[in-house]
């Protein structure tokens, strides 16, 4: 299922937080949303999982405007694990994961054997099966994050929206999640702060700065030293992973005079040609 953000704008309290975003997430591809703190990633993603309504423009699923779909219908197609995802109820891990089936059930219909099997599969994928009977309130941050990902998986979405899904995960679970996203074969849009993980895990990247799209393309096209300096205010060298060939960044941690600090509007002329939107 194709996802498209089409000239998406979001205004809150008279301020435009997201400006005419055009982002394509082709069916089955993983697209990473990058950008400094406050650049509008979560705000744009909220429009995709319908926690916010676009002020202008649209989110299109296979060409159909989400705004014309009943919430329940879009919830059958789109699952989200986001900053808004809470697991603060005194439910067991298994119960929280099972909640992911809600959009597919009628009224108080109980889960069938196949759905219980699906929950077990999802818990295995994120390695939380051994926690099935634990209260989610007792979990560590990373364990809780993996439970919420399992909940999104049992929704059997065609589009998966993830907002910083790795911020509590140890390195192995970060790598496992990246591999899982690639083998699921669903359409994924994921906001990430780790540029190296994004470069390794994503088919394409979209970079935001102050609510505007400033670069899109493959990780190799987008992650140039100029772009990284301009948008994030960091000096980096670009290397290729010796085995996979993936673009990776080596950060220069020695203090440098940034031409423009993070979050400033990049001068389009300074953004490399191939990575301009
Ligand atoms: N409800 C709101 N009211 C006012 N301002 C808001 C609201 N929601 C978001 N903002 C502002 O919009 C901007 C974009 O926020 P957003 O959460 O989308 O950024 P982000 O790129 O996801 O940042 P981070 O990397 O820090 O999570 C920020 O300046 C934020 O303070």
CATH classification at residue 182: 3.40.50.300
Overall number of domains in the chain = 1
Tell me whether residue 258 is in a domain.
Answer: no
Tell me whether residue 85 is in a domain.
Answer: yes
pLDDT of residue 277: 58
Rounded alpha-carbon distances, angstroms, from residue 246 to 31, 196, 251: 15, 9, 16
Domain containing 24 equals 3-216
Tell me whether residue 259 is in a domain.
Answer: no
3-class DSSP assignment, residue 52: coil
Q: What percentage of residues in the chain have a pLDDT greater than 70?
A: 91
| pTM for this model (two decimals) | 0.90
Q: What is the pLDDT of residues 63-120, one digit of tens each?
A: 999 999 999 889 899 999 987 776 678 899 999 999 999 888 877 778 888 889 999 9
Ligand 1 first shell, C-beta below 6 A: 12-13, 17, 35, 37-43
CB atoms within 10 A of CB 135: 15
Cα–ligand 1 centroid distance for 243 (angstroms): 37
Torsion sign over Cα 175, 94, 143, 78: positive
Tell me if ipTM is over 0.85: yes
Cα–ligand 1 centroid distance for 102 (angstroms): 29
Say if CB 39 and CB 209 are below 8 A apart: yes
Sheet of strand 64-65, all strands in order from the earlier edge strand to the far edge: 15-25, 3-12, 56-61, 64-65
Q: In sequence order, what are the beta bridge partners of 45?
A: none
């Amino acid at each position: 299922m194709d996802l498209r953000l089409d000239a998406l704008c979001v205004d809150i309290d008279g301020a435009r937080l997201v400006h005419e975003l055009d982002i394509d997430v082709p069916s089955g591809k993983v697209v990473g949303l990058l950008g400094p703190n406050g650049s509008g990633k979560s705000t744009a993603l909220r429009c995709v999982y319908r926690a916010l309504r676009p002020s202008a423009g649209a989110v299109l699923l296979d060409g159909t405007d989400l705004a014309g779909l009943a919430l329940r219908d879009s919830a059958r197609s789109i699952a989200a694990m986001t900053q808004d995802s809470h697991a603060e109820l005194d439910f067991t891990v298994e119960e929280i994961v099972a909640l992911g089936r809600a959009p597919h059930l009628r009224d108080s219909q109980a889960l069938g054997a196949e759905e219980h099997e699906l929950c077990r599969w999802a818990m295995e994928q994120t390695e939380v099966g051994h926690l099935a009977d634990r209260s989610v309130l007792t979990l560590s941050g990373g364990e809780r994050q993996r439970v919420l990902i399992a909940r999104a998986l049992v929704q059997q979405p065609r589009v998966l929206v993830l907002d910083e899904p790795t911020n509590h995960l140890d390195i192995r679970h970060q790598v496992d999640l990246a591999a899982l996203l690639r083998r699921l074969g669903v359409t994924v849009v994921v906001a990430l702060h780790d540029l190296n993980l994004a470069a390794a895990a994503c088919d394409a990247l979209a970079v935001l700065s102050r609510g505007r799209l400033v670069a899109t393309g493959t990780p190799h096209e987008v992650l140039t030293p100029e772009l990284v300096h301009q948008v994030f205010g960091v000096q980096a060298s670009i290397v290729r992973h010796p085995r996979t060939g993936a673009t990776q960044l080596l950060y220069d941690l020695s203090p440098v005079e940034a031409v423009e600090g993070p979050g400033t509007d990049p001068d389009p002329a300074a953004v490399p040609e191939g990575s301009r939107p």
